[in-house]
Amino acid sequence: MTNTKLLMVTLLGATMLASGAAHSKTLVYCSEGSPEGFDPAPFTAGTTFDASSKPLYNRLVEFKRGTSEVIPGLAESWEVSSDGLEYTFKLRKGVKFQTTDFFTPSRDFNADDVVFSFERQLKKDHPWNQYTAGIAWEYFDGMSMPDLLKSVEKVDDNTVKFVLNRPEAPMIANLAMDFASIMSAEYAAKLEADGKKELLNQQPVGTGPFKFVAYQKDAVIRYAAHEGYWAGKQPIDDLVFAITTDASVRQQKLKAGECHVAPYPNPADLADLKADPNLQVMEQEGLNVGYLAYNSLVAPFDKPEVRKALNMAINKQSILDAVFQGAGKEAKNPIPPTMWSYNTSVNDDPYDPEAAKKMLEAAGVKDLKMKIWAMPVQRPYNPNARRMAELIQSDFSKIGVGVEIVSYEWGEYLKLSKAKDRDGAVLLGWTGDNGDPDNFLAVLLGCDAVGGSNRAQWCNKDFEALVQKAKTVSDKAERTKLYEDAQVVFKREAPWATIAHSVVFMPMSKKVSGYVMDPLGGHWFDGVDLAE
Amino acid sequence: MSDQAIETSSDTRATGLRADLQEFWHYFSENRGAVIGMWFFIFVCLVALLADLIAPHGATAQYRDALLTPPVWQEGGDWRFLLGTDAVGRDMLSRLIHGSRYSLFVGCIVVVGAMAVGVTVGLVAGFVGGAVDTLIMRLMDIILSFPSLLLALVLVAILGPSLTNAMIAIAIVQQPHYVRLTRAAVLGERNKDYVTAARVAGVRPLRLMFHTILPNCMAPLIVQAALSFSTAILDAAALGFLGMGAQPPTPEWGTMLAEAREFILRAWWVVTLPGLAILLTVLAINLMGDGLRDALDPKLKRS
Amino acid sequence: MFQFLLRRIGLIIPTFIGVTIAAFAFIRVLPGDPVELMAGERGVSPERHAALMKQFGYDRPIWEQYLDYFFSALQGDLGNSLVTKKPVWDEFFTLFPATLELSICAIIFAVFIGVPAGIYAATRRGSWPDQAIMGTALVGYSMPIFWWGLLLIILFSGTLGWTPVSGRISLLYFFKPVTGFMLIDSLLSGQKGAFSSAVSHLILPTIVLGTIPLAVVARQTRSAMLEVLSEDYVRTARAKGMSPMRVVGVHALRNAMIPVITTIGLQVGVLLAGAILTETIFSWPGIGKWMVDSIFRRDYPSVQGGLLMIAVIVMTVNLIVDLLYGLVNPRIRHVR
């Protein structure tokens, strides 16, 4: 301490010389974790996207803020050929890339940038396909783009054509996703010439509303407004992400005024936050579902009536109280209510332990013992799987079903729960990627996904037919009808106990205005202003 | 444990046992803190033993009508739940009472496990010497090169998070201390007259190790045992806190604390009480350990 | 002395090799599949899974992987993090200054309070201040520091609002790191208030991390002092009528410091272990938190590299302590 004091004295001169920084509007966001990198395409975490694709980049098409509706972005318009295989995009003119300490663009955005952004993910022999060790295009591959996408072609400087191998109705929505962010081909060429390709992931350049200033690992990310942003400069001058992994600490900082916006509050703190005169709490239903998936290939869970009986034994209200602390809504369908085609006329299985007991007896099931798998991690659709499993355990014991709770390390859990001969019912959930019902119904319950992301191992002819048909139809009304029917089949067969959809809360300072919650779970700061 | 040690050390002069015990108690009881610690420890042991009888509720029984009820003396308290309830309506007092079992259990198992292995290995190293000794000591050096909690954390990550695995990991991390202590004691004793005499008299090596030499190095081991008992409880709680120890709904104190973290602003009792239980128990054991050291360590006795 | 040095360094080589084997082996037997984990709820196809395993080099024979690892490690190449794709070496040294700064502050805190308290207690042996100090030290020694940190946050940051909740410096200040030590960088930046902001952020973590070393140092100082005070030469000095202050300050303290310094050296392991908990609680961007995160994320190369680096640090500090000890106390050299 004495040493530092001494230093302080000797450096006092320097301190005196310091000029106060010009007054500027700085918005501080207490983010929940560190980004994996600043190139959004190789990653899958929402935290990474909040720090990369959302402030720094744009996509050809964007989700209209606050909805999952697709609107023009860097593409002003597009046309789909009648066979559904060719998508032609007209690009916006005069879009500037950000000028930073490390890069000054010499040209505006054009078709080369689009081709570069996709080809690096599509072509295995592209010089940027493996630009840093151990990179993989998780989302691109996860959305089956390599099978789907035949080529991305430049027609002229302002026109790009995507050619598909088969018609796919959700394609446009896919292009609004984070992995489809448009990078600068010019910047990439410069990095390649300098032999520093890995910097693409560390010092990003995009067309987005904010430009990258600095990242101090696991502590702070700094952005500044992009002066030449095509949609106009942002009302705030600086955007700071203060990385704060602990939820209680985030709330403390928010209350102390150390940050203006802090996501993912503890449900337990909500009442306190809402009561704070300096804070406002926004809320929205998340685009997710938390469920308990039975293994429909293993007796006695192969019988729909057994699954239904168990569903009727679960007291969802008490789960919402104890696990979600009110930050959730009971789920009856496998897709969330904010999604189009949600079937409101489906009736949920009522909570009725007596009837459930009788149904089990009628099905000839006695002294049933089962396992329930509880995830080891917190997820928006299930903030505390352990606690949820304990509650279900005590609910099931009331109808004479003995439950053993098991858990594995997360990677292991995901892997083991895929097995077709898995013993027990699995607690899991899903958060939507692109707002399309296909992204829930086909991915989680389709026949192709058995042994994979279909944790119920459930393959039903009627359901499959409806969902597959909806993939090839581009008329939204017709698709809606198909998906509504699929939800009826789902409820009849009950491969899951649908438990809850989370309600996402977003506490922020009352000084913040213009913030719009994203049903897809992202955090956007363009258009946000800060009162003095 | 201490009685046993003294008993075996003096099996050739059984009449001295009483005197030894009396002397030990004389020095031990001089230390007021140690005596208080001992009584508190006995209290915790009784609570653990009688948990089923004295706990007002089951450790995992959920009262869904009483989530996060504060302790009785606070507004909104309920006489059914003296120390309040947690987020799913489980009685805090009952959970704390049952939790004492886990902490003591962890302490006992870790000490016994680490000591059994550590002492044996240490005896072998000190007695056999040569390449075996070198190999063992290098192995211990390797283990000691990692900070204990970090090593335990990685070991639990390997074995899978559970109380059993946490105990195994902590025992592995602790046993080098026993090895070193035993080895040093053996090296000190090996060339003393009584050992040479026994060896000349044809006492077999195993008997020599366990019956002749070991009893004479008992004092530092007992002190170490008390020390590692409290460290084990703390480490198990820390692992539980990091989500790598006992898994919920086990009412282990560290795990309770981890589960309660989200209520830090709203329900002080779910955060404060388990930590206080850990602190008091560990403090009592450390007080006792200090007393044991003073009573057993002849060097300090003199001063 | 030179021989002692050689012998001591000779001992370190097999231990170092052992440590690399251990760090490597631990991680290779970790259950869980890094590829699965990367994919999350979405999952990967078996073909892609195999391709990725190959890409990360997990399909080669284990000894080949180890030798590769060992020789790269010698050259400072610890592989790339699976999460950030950056070299583990760089990641470690980006974060290490934060841990080092916190640890140094904790040690200073422990020594500056612990040594005087221990001396005072020793000179007043048996009095109530002695008992109070030793009682407090034992409480500190028994403290579950993760709980202690939470309590301090509730009290000082929550209720009283005196200290910031987490982080290293207020976000108002922004400057490029020069040394990585926030206290020094904040001074170098010349920004008004930056230094005091850095100090206020350091206070609670320092107390939490320093609590156990403080207790150990106080206890050790007291018992070392007691031992020295009962030595003949001190009694002689006292008998000769030397003032108590002088006896304690000149003769006793100097001799008592040897075991105390050793104790402080040995606290490095304790500090690094404590850093895991402290950094987790205070969102302190150091290697302790990074290790925990890496373990939970199954970031194999990071856990491996971190384990190895931390072990090397502990070994190095132990070596230095041993050498210093050998230097001040020549008897040691011959005994070993």
Per-residue pLDDT tens digits for A472-515: 887 888 999 999 999 999 999 999 999 999 888 999 999 999 99
Question: Which of A46-60, A292-306, C272-286 is predicted least confidently?
Answer: C272-286
Position C335 confidence tier, pLDDT thresholds 50, 70, 90 = very low
Residues of C in contact with A418 (CB under 8 A): 43
C14/B contact by beta carbon, under 8 A: yes
Tell me the pLDDT tens digit for each residue of B155-197: 888 887 788 889 999 999 999 999 988 888 888 777 778 778 8
B67 phi, psi to nearest 5 deg: -85, 135
CA distance A255 to A273: 8
CA distance B100 to A188: 61
- The confidence score (pLDDT) of residue C45 equals 74
Question: Which of A97-101, A135-139, C271-275 is predicted least confidently?
Answer: A135-139
DSSP classification of residue C80: B
**Mean model confidence pLDDT for chain B:** 83
Per the listing, tokens 């206070």 go with: C203
The β-bridge relationship of strands A496-509 and A328-330 is: antiparallel
- The confidence score (pLDDT) of residue A375 equals 87
pLDDT above 70 covers what percent of chain A? Answer: 96
- The confidence score (pLDDT) of residue C153 equals 85
Measure in Å the smallest separation between the Cα of C86 and chain A Cα atoms: 8
The β-bridge relationship of strands A70-72 and A61-63 is: antiparallel
Tell me the pLDDT tens digit for each residue of A462-478: 999 999 898 888 788 89
A422 phi, psi to nearest 5 deg: -55, 140
Q: Is the pLDDT of residue A12 over 50?
A: no
Measure in Å the smallest separation between the Cα of C201 and chain B Cα atoms: 20
- The confidence score (pLDDT) of residue C331 equals 55
Of A26, A135, A453, which is closest to C85 when you measure between CB atoms? A135
pLDDT higher at A21 or A418: A418
- The confidence score (pLDDT) of residue B4 equals 45
Nearest residue in chain C measured CA to CA from A23: C172
- Residue A193: count other Cβ atoms within 10 Å of its Cβ: 8
Position A19 confidence tier, pLDDT thresholds 50, 70, 90 = very low
Measure in Å the smallest separation between the Cα of A244 and chain B Cα atoms: 14
Question: Which residues 414-443 of A are in CB contact (within 8 Å) with C?
Answer: 414-415, 418, 428-431, 443
Residues of B in contact with C154 (CB under 8 A): 264-265, 268, 271
Give the mean pLDDT of A176-205: 94
Q: Is the pLDDT of residue A22 over 70?
A: no
CA distance B157 to B172: 14
CA distance C39 to A454: 15
Instruction: Select the CATH number that applies to the domain covering C91-299+307-333 from these four: 1.10.3720.10, 3.40.50.970, 2.40.50.1020, 3.40.50.1370.
Output: 1.10.3720.10
The H-or-E segment that residue A214 falls in is: strand A210-216
Of B87, B247, B261, which is closest to A248 when you measure between CB atoms? B261
Residues of A in contact with C158 (CB under 8 A): 252
CA distance A475 to C103: 63
Residues of A in contact with C41 (CB under 8 A): 414, 428-431, 453
Yes or no, beta carbons of B149 and C22 under 8 Å apart: no
Measure in Å the smallest separation between the Cα of C234 and chain B Cα atoms: 14
Tell me the pLDDT tens digit for each residue of C100-158: 999 999 999 998 999 899 989 988 888 899 989 999 999 999 999 999 998 898 888 87
**Mean model confidence pLDDT for chain C:** 83
Yes or no, beta carbons of B60 and A251 under 8 Å apart: no
Residue C19: closest CA among C288, C277, C307: C307
- Which of B57, B65, B262, B266 best probes binding to A when mutated, by most A CB atoms within 10 angstroms? B262
Per the listing, tokens 């150990």 go with: C216
Nearest residue in chain C measured CA to CA from A220: C171
CA distance B200 to C127: 52
**Mean model confidence pLDDT for chain A:** 88
| Residue C321, token pair as written in the block | 């302590």
* C195-222: b (≥16 Cβ within 10 Å) or e: bebbbebbbbbbbbbbbbbbbbbbbbbb
- Which of B265, B270, B271 best probes binding to A when mutated, by most A CB atoms within 10 angstroms? B265
| Residue C110, token pair as written in the block | 């422990």
Q: How far apart are the first and last CA of chain C?
A: 12
Give the mean pLDDT of A34-46: 89
- The confidence score (pLDDT) of residue A39 equals 94
Question: Which of A155-164, B55-64, B294-303 is predicted least confidently?
Answer: B294-303
Of C31, C83, C195, which is closest to A36 when you measure between CB atoms? C83
How many CB pairs lie under 8 A apart between chains A and C? 159
pLDDT higher at A150 or C46: A150
Question: Which of A66-80, B195-209, C200-214, C319-333 is predicted least confidently?
Answer: C319-333
Q: Which residues contact B155 (CB under 8 A, 6 or more apart)?
A: B165, B168, B169, B172, B173, C26
Yes or no, beta carbons of C15 and B145 under 8 Å apart: yes
- The confidence score (pLDDT) of residue C32 equals 65
- The confidence score (pLDDT) of residue C329 equals 63
Peptide bond into A300 cis (omega under 30): yes
Yes or no, beta carbons of A222 and C283 under 8 Å apart: no
| Residue C65, token pair as written in the block | 């992987």
| Residue B15, token pair as written in the block | 């009449």
Yes or no, beta carbons of C164 and A220 under 8 Å apart: no
Give the mean pLDDT of C202-213: 94
Of B62, B160, B265, which is closest to A269 when you measure between CB atoms? B265
CA distance A376 to A373: 9
Yes or no, beta carbons of C30 and B157 under 8 Å apart: yes
- The confidence score (pLDDT) of residue A163 equals 95
Measure in Å the smallest separation between the Cα of A78 and chain C Cα atoms: 29
Yes or no, beta carbons of B279 and C139 under 8 Å apart: yes
Position B303 confidence tier, pLDDT thresholds 50, 70, 90 = very low
Judged by DSSP in three states, A120 sits in: helix
Q: Give me the residue spans of the domains in chain C.
A: 2-74, 91-299+307-333
Yes or no, beta carbons of A409 and C38 under 8 Å apart: no
Q: Is the pLDDT of residue A267 over 80?
A: no
Question: Which of A187-191, B110-114, C314-318, C323-327 is predicted least confidently?
Answer: C323-327
pLDDT higher at A190 or B297: A190
A45, A36 contact by CB (below 8 A)? yes
Give the mean pLDDT of B196-204: 81
In Å, how far are B96, C222, C263 from C216, measured between CA atoms?
Answer: 29, 10, 8
Of C141, C272, C292, which is closest to B286 when you measure between CB atoms? C141
Tell me the pLDDT tens digit for each residue of A119-130: 999 998 999 998
Q: Is the pLDDT of residue A3 over 70?
A: no
Question: Which of A72-86, A150-164, B4-18, C161-175 is predicted least confidently?
Answer: B4-18
Measure in Å the smallest separation between the Cα of C148 and chain A Cα atoms: 15
Task: Identify the burial level of A101 via C-beta atoms within 10 angstroms of its C-beta, where 0-12 means exposed, 13-18 middle and 19 or more buried.
Answer: exposed
Residues of C in contact with B300 (CB under 8 A): 223
Of C144, C153, C226, which is closest to B275 when you measure between CB atoms? C144
pLDDT above 90 covers what percent of chain C? Answer: 24
Q: Which residues contact B73 (CB under 8 A, 6 or more apart)?
A: none
Measure in Å the smallest separation between the Cα of A260 and chain C Cα atoms: 12
Yes or no, beta carbons of A269 and B243 under 8 Å apart: no
Q: Is the pLDDT of residue C204 over 60?
A: yes
pLDDT above 70 covers what percent of chain C? Answer: 93
B85, B67 contact by CB (below 8 A)? yes
In Å, how far are B129, B145, B211, B220, B236 from B115, measured between CA atoms?
Answer: 20, 20, 16, 12, 17
Longest dimension (CA), chain A: 87
Which chains does chain C touch, 3 or more C-beta pairs < 8 A? A, B
Measure in Å the smallest separation between the Cα of A318 and chain B Cα atoms: 7
Measure in Å the smallest separation between the Cα of A173 and chain C Cα atoms: 18
Yes or no, beta carbons of C37 and A44 under 8 Å apart: no
In Å, how far are B96, B99, B265 from B270, measured between CA atoms?
Answer: 10, 13, 10
- The confidence score (pLDDT) of residue B227 equals 87
CA distance C183 to C186: 5
Nearest residue in chain B measured CA to CA from A408: B160
Residues of B in contact with A377 (CB under 8 A): none
Is the ipTM beyond the 0.90 threshold? no
Tell me the pLDDT tens digit for each residue of A397-423: 999 999 998 887 777 788 888 889 999
- Which of C17, C29, C142 best probes binding to B when mutated, by most B CB atoms within 10 angstroms? C142
